[in-house]
Amino acid sequence: MAPATATPVTELALGHPGRTGRPSFWTRGVSLTARILAVNVIALALMAGSFFYLDTYRKQLLAERFKLARAEVEIAADSLSEAPMAQRRALVARIGSEQKLRLRLYDAAGALEIDSFAIAGPSFALVDPRMEPWYQHAARLLDRGVDFIVGAPAIADYREPLDRDAAAWPEIATARRTNASTVFLRYAPDRTPVITAAAPVGARGETLMTTRNALDITQAVRDARQTLVIIIGLALLLSIQLSLFLARTIVQPLRELVRAAVRVRLGRDREVVVPRLPERGDEIGLLARAFSDMANAVRLRIDAVESFAADVAHELKNPLASLRSALESLEKVDDPDLRRQLSAIAAHDVQRLDRLITEIADASRIDAQLSRATFGQVDLAAMAELAVGARGARAGTGGSLLRLRRGPGAAVVMGDAARLERVLENLIDNAVSFSPPGGEVEVRVAGDEDGVTLSVSDHGPGIPANERHKVFERFHSVRPDSEEFGAHSGLGLAIARTIAEAHDGTLTIADRPDGASGACLVLELPAARP
């Protein structure tokens, strides 16, 4: 059923009739989507396009440098594999100095054999960002911002490991595993690229690693960015002005909705009032009213789900405990009679669990199924006649006599026939279970212009007035002493009332009209209209 706070269609389309103040033409006549597109698309397109262009340019530069690093390490590795051992150190020193590289050669065990920085001095030095001027810090901050906007992957920082062995470098392990060159990218402390490449050397299991600090890539990207600074600045100023213009019509109501949403999410205020913004006739007004209705519906549904889950856990725990106890005892018992008793108890608990799970699944699906159901005309009198006849023809009435009494008026309602039949069967089952042997269960149907009433009465012990509000609670079951334990799940009347309320009806308990002992459950539904 729709919540009591549902917004009428006329309010959604035209706004609340009692609103104060006259909305401007800008608010009333132009959709929010058109306004946002008109004032923001140009500035945002300029900014976003420049960011993505620079990121693409940077990727192209890195890709070219990766190819160069792979070629360099492979050529150097080939040269070292062919060079005599006595000339290797000189060759490494010359390559490192000429190419501005750091070369490190590791033996098959992973120990460092040759380091170009150690034998010829550093051919480059990583910049300490603490020694740079302020505008370099600003440039690095802008780099991080661009990376965030374009969603660039995170790059690891470059640090010289304390361990000088090859195990500190994953690129060496990759090159040895694949027997091919590999290239890795890291960031120096000043966020310039440090490109390392590793390749196997000869057949002795040696590995060569080269390291280059590609300062020119960062400088090229920053130079290109400077040509777009003026455009981005102008676009930003324009965007700020337009945002201030839109703040009054968009940001403020959205902030109110956000604050209400946060309070609802945190659950700190059970009666959070979500602003409905009745003065707004645009999409934000529609959103506010839809969100308010949704929050109320979600709150009711969450409460129902939490209560139902707690009830299910409690009800399933008892038969499971009994079943486990019976199975554990069965292994320790040798007496055949006692084993049969324990097997019977286990079988009974399995049946009880099956019944509970079936009823629980049915109860949990009722709301969703009824929300999708298409109602048609249902004759409750004819349905009751068939149900009474079918129940009387089969076993399971416990000796009770079922009687159908027709009252005046038509008994046609709008509803789901299968679900209404379920209500009738549950009411009859309940009455039969409480009736003494030979007792009469009376089903009475009557109708008038306002509605249709169906009542089911029995001659059982009745239901005390102070207990009547509990019998429709899930899993609440006070059964006769003669009834087998666990034969009912306690969901029958709860399901019946849920179906009745989904049909805009009621299911209540009343005293028997003749004043005799027993219970009388009364189903009232609106009569079908032409």
Domain range annotation of the chain: 44-226, 228-372, 374-530
* Tens-place pLDDT, residues 81-109: 988 888 999 999 999 999 999 999 999 99
Q: Across the strands, what pairs with 187?
A: 157, 193
H or E stretch at 409: none
| Both structure tokens of 249 | 């019509």
Count the Cβ atoms, other than its own, within 10 Å of residue 337.
8
What ranges in 373-450 are assigned the alpha helix state H? 380-393, 417-434
Phi/psi region, residue 475 (left: phi>0; alpha: psi -120 to 50; beta: rest), is: left
**Of 215, 199, 31, 61, the residue nearest 125 (C-alpha):** 215
**Of 134, 127, 143, 133, the residue nearest 194 (C-alpha):** 127
Supply the pLDDT for residue 509.
86
Supply the pLDDT for residue 219.
84
Supply the pLDDT for residue 5.
38
| Both structure tokens of 159 | 């640090």
Supply the pLDDT for residue 20.
41
The CATH architecture annotation of domain 228-372 reads Orthogonal Bundle (1.10)
Using N-to-C axis directions, what is the helix angle for 336-372 and 283-330, rounded to 10°?
A: 170
Domain 44-226 has CATH 3.30.450.20: yes
Q: Which regions of the chain are under pLDDT 70?
A: 1-53, 229, 267-271, 304-318, 355-356, 359-371, 392-399, 469-470, 472, 474-490, 530
CA separation for the pair 426, 366 (Å, rounded): 15
Supply the pLDDT for residue 237.
76
Q: Is 225 exposed, middle or buried (0-12, 13-18, 19+ CB in 10 A)?
A: buried
| Cut 0.75: pTM above it | no
| Both structure tokens of 258 | 């956000």
To which CATH superfamily is domain 374-530 assigned? Histidine kinase-like ATPase, C-terminal domain (3.30.565.10)
Supply the pLDDT for residue 16.
41
Count the Cβ atoms, other than its own, within 10 Å of residue 428.
23
Residue tagged 């500190």 (tokens)? 168
